[in-house]
Chain A
Amino acid sequence: MNTGMNTGAPEPVFTQPWHAQVFALTVHLNEAGQFAWPDWTARFSRTLARHGLARELDGGDDYFTAWLETLEELLADLGQADPAEVDRLHAAWESAYLTTPHGAPVRLGR
Chain B
Amino acid sequence: MAHDHHDHDHPHSLLPPEPALRVKALETVLTDRGLIDPAALDEIIDTYQNRIGPKNGAAVVARAWTDPAFRDRLLADATAVVADLGFFGRQGEHVVAVQNSPEVHNIVVCTLCSCYPWPLLGIPPAWYKSDAYRARAVREPRAVLADFGVSLPETTAVRVWDSTAEIRYLVIPMRPEGTEGMSVEQLAELVTRDSMVGTGLPKAPE
Contacts and interface: CB of A to CB of B under 8 A. Distances in A.
Interface of A: 1, 3-7, 11, 13-14, 16-18, 20-25, 27-32, 34, 36-38, 40-42, 44-45, 48-49, 52, 56-60, 63-65, 68, 71-72, 75, 80-82, 85-87, 89-90, 92-94, 97-104, 106, 108
A101 B136 CA distance: 49
Given A18-B20, A94-B21, A102-B11, A25 B36 contact: yes
B126 interface: yes
Contacts of B123: 13-14, 23
13 contacts: A3-B133, A5-B132, A21-B27, A23-B44, A23-B123, A59-B126, A59-B130, A71-B26, A80-B30, A93-B25, A97-B14, A99-B12, A104-B13
Given A4-B126, A59-B127, A89 B25 contact: yes
A18 B19 CA distance: 7
Given A11-B125, A29-B36, A48-B113, A97 B19 contact: no
B6 interface: no
A86 B26 contact: yes
